[in-house]
Structure formats: structure tokens, C-alpha cells
Amino acid sequence: KKSVRDVEVSGKRVFVRVDFNVPMQDGQITDDTRIRETLPTVKYLIENGAKVILASHLGRPKGQVNEDMRLTLPAKRLGELLGKEVAKADEAVGEAVKAQVNAMNNGDVLVLENVRFYPGEEKNDPELAKQFAELADLFVNDAFGAAHRAHASTEGIAHHLPAVSGLLMEKELSVLGKALSNPERPFTAIIGGSKVKDKIDVIDNLLNIADNVLIGGGLAYTFFKAQGHEIGKSLLDDSKLDVALGFIEKAKKLGKNFVLPVDVIVADDFSADANHKAVDIDSIPADWEGLDIGPKTRAKYAEIIKNSKLVVWNGPMGVFEIDTFANGTKEVAEACATTSGYTIIGGGDSAAATEKFNLASKMDHISTGGGASLEFMEGKALPGVVALNDK
Ligand code: 3PG
């Protein structure tokens, strides 16, 4: 795929799709990682004399203007990070925006309003895509985090303009792509999270590629149940018992090391001050629920991670938002931070966990994609990437 470095940008109006879908609380951005990660592309374009038009979604406003989801704050933060004036439009298309773009000088930056204020965005309406395209001479997709969405500003627009990837997009695709297509071994994948159904495809694909697949989080209990264990009030996806057994079979057939927790932390309530204890998985009390992996499992997983050349981690090991049940996720994060192997954190909750434990800087790559990195690891093509180079 071509990147922004492979094309002439000087004097051009460049429509850059970024993922400024940052977490916000009480009118404040609580994590600006996604904005900081776009700086290489934005700076490159500024330094090379482009007119930089940035577009993003924020939240899920469902095709309507939502005052809490304007891009005003992300635009302001970008200005602070660049140390440069960043203009903000009140809309994403239309005459007023066109006039603002026409008035831009080379090196200027304009942030458009939330593209999801328009119903056509998520419908990938060709008309809206055309309106976006009319604002620019070149499309740069730097929104890896939204690349799994076939929307007007991620996919549709690429059919109307020369379309290339931005530097963040390029980095994400190269790191994740190399890891999965030509992994250093031993390659360990750690899959956690609460729901089996969300992780079926990723477990399936990584079983083909990795040497070790370690399972944690709420989804583990469906495996225990499938093996005939009492799981008490733990999370269960009753319709996926066969799928769970199928993975154990598949691992055996492929000679892969598919590792389930050997012990867990159970509690008599889903709260910080619940009674809790570590038990082996054949001793889960009938009226308790499992909320984290236990100490034996933590030690076992840490050892495997320490001996790996490549680690890919997606999904927490327990309810890490509550300190009582955070140890499993924390020790996996620490093992990833200290292993000499290359560590890739697959975005979303695992990325938030590494932030929470102040270990983010110790990881080799933290993806800016949540759903996007998951779909990538499932082996799926991302529509926002496929559309590049179309013209
Ligand atoms: C994300 O946060 O994963 C991306 O920004 C995509 O957001 P979405 O799930 O609302 O499409």
C-alpha cells in the first residue's frame, strides 16, 4: 500500500481521516493517545506544505448533532500538541466548510465536525462520500481504529480521490501484519475478556498461527463448564459450549499449547469488598463467581510470556477495574513489560489496563485500534484499508 510519503502533497488539499474517538469525562479528554499518535502524519503534512483537513468520528451520535460529541476538544488538544493554531469547523460538509477550506494556506490545519452527525456516514452513502471528496485533492487514511468500518469517510471517499495510508496506519499494519504473517517463535497469544462470542474468531485464527494460546477473563468459564466443572455464578455462554470444546480439540490436533487457567479468584459478590479467595477450577463454590485468574495461573502465564519471542495480548484476565480482581491482568501486563520478547497490546481494554498500571511505555506496540485490531487478528480484511489505492 502507498503511504503519504509516496505522493506529492505540497499545495494540495488533503482530507485526512483520523480516529479522534478519545475517551472523555466531564468535558475533559481522559486519554489523548489517539491524538498524539496522529502527530507524525499531521506534522509531515504541515512540513510538506499541505492544507491539512482532519475528519473523525467521536462516540456514536447516530446521525444527529450531539453537543457532547463535538470535535472541539480534540481539535483544541491537537493545537496544544502541535503548538500551532488549529481551526475547527462547525460542520463536516457544505458551503461554509468549502469556504473555510478555500481560505486555507499551505501548512494550515482545519478539523471538521464529527462525521457521524450525518446519517450518511455510517450508511456509507456515496453522496456524502462525494461531498467529503469535493473538499480535497488527496485522501489519507490514518484512522486505523476505524478501519474495520466501511463508512463514507473511511471507505466511500477512497473511491473518489487518490487514496493512501497515513503514517500511523502504515505503522499499525506493518507491526500487526509482520507479527501474524512471519512471527518470531515461540509466539504466545493471550486472549481474555468477558464474552466467548466476541473472541471466537480471534482464538480460532491465533490457534493457527501462535504456539501458545493463553485464555483468561470471563470467557474462560464457558471452557470450564464445557469440561464438566462447576462454575457457580460465573459468566457463561451456554450456546458456546461446543465451540469451546472444539478449540480444545483443534489445539490438540495442531499440536498447539492451549492453556486454560488452573485456578481462579472467586467472590460472593461483584464488588470491591466482597469475600473472595483463590480456588482451583475444580473447587468453584456453587453460589460464588469467578472474577480473576488465580496465583498459580498468574505464575504459569508469566513464565510462558517470559520465554516468548513474540506476545500478542487482547482482553483482560479479570475485572481489573476493581483492584481486588486486578492482579491477573496486572501480572500479565508486568510479564509483558519485562519479557525480552516483542509485545503487542491489541488495543481497547488491554491498552487501558497497561495505562492503569503505568506500563504502557514498556510495551513494544500498543494498537490504537480496539475493534479494528481484533478484526485484524481475526485475519479479516479491513474495508478502510482495502479501499486505499483504489484510484
Ligand atoms: C473504536 O473506538 O474502536 C473506534 O473509534 C471505532 O468506534 P466505533 O466502534 O463506534 O465504530
CA distance to 40, 43, 49, 76, 109, per residue, from 83 (Å): 14, 11, 17, 10, 12
Average per-residue pLDDT for the chain: 97
Q: Give the per-residue pLDDT at 347.
A: 74
Q: Give the per-residue pLDDT at 1.
A: 82
Establish whether 13 is a catalytic residue.
Answer: no
Residue 222 pLDDT greater than 80, yes or no: yes
Residue to probe by mutation, ligand 1, list 18, 19, 30, most atoms within 8 Å of CB: 19
Residue 185 pLDDT greater than 70, yes or no: yes
Residue to probe by mutation, ligand 1, list 17, 35, 57, most atoms within 8 Å of CB: 57
Residues with beta carbon inside 6 Å of ligand 1? Answer: 19, 21, 60, 145-146, 149, 370-371
Q: Give the per-residue pLDDT at 159.
A: 96
Q: What is the pTM of this model?
A: 0.95
Q: Give the per-residue pLDDT at 348.
A: 86
Render pLDDT for 317-348 as a digit per residue (tens, 0 to 9).
Answer: 999 999 999 999 999 999 999 999 999 999 78
Of ligand 1's listed atoms, the one at least distance from the Cα of 19 is 5
Render pLDDT for 87-139 as a digit per residue (tens, 0 to 9).
Answer: 999 999 999 999 999 999 999 999 999 999 999 999 999 999 999 999 999 99
Q: Give the per-residue pLDDT at 90.
A: 98
Residue 187 pLDDT greater than 90, yes or no: yes
Of ligand 1's listed atoms, the one at least distance from the Cα of 145 is 4
Distance 116 CA to ligand 1 centre (A): 11
Q: Give the per-residue pLDDT at 39.
A: 98
Of ligand 1's listed atoms, the one at least distance from the Cα of 57 is 5
Of ligand 1's listed atoms, the one at least distance from the Cα of 347 is 3
Distance 354 CA to ligand 1 centre (A): 19
Render pLDDT for 44-83 as a digit per residue (tens, 0 to 9).
Answer: 999 999 999 999 999 999 999 999 999 999 999 999 999 9
In the chain, the percentage of residues whose pLDDT exceeds 70 is 99
Residue 236 pLDDT greater than 70, yes or no: yes
Residue 166 pLDDT greater than 60, yes or no: yes
Q: Which one from 12, 13, 17, 34 is the annotated catalytic residue?
A: 34
pLDDT band at 361 (very low <50, low <70, confident <90, very high): very high
Distance 147 CA to ligand 1 centre (A): 9
Distance 36 CA to ligand 1 centre (A): 17
In the chain, the percentage of residues whose pLDDT exceeds 90 is 98
Establish whether 195 is a catalytic residue.
Answer: yes
Residue 272 pLDDT greater than 70, yes or no: yes
Residue nearest to atom 6 of ligand 1 (CA): 146
Residue 390 pLDDT greater than 80, yes or no: no
pLDDT band at 287 (very low <50, low <70, confident <90, very high): very high
Distance 20 CA to ligand 1 centre (A): 10
Q: Give the per-residue pLDDT at 106.
A: 98
Establish whether 94 is a catalytic residue.
Answer: no
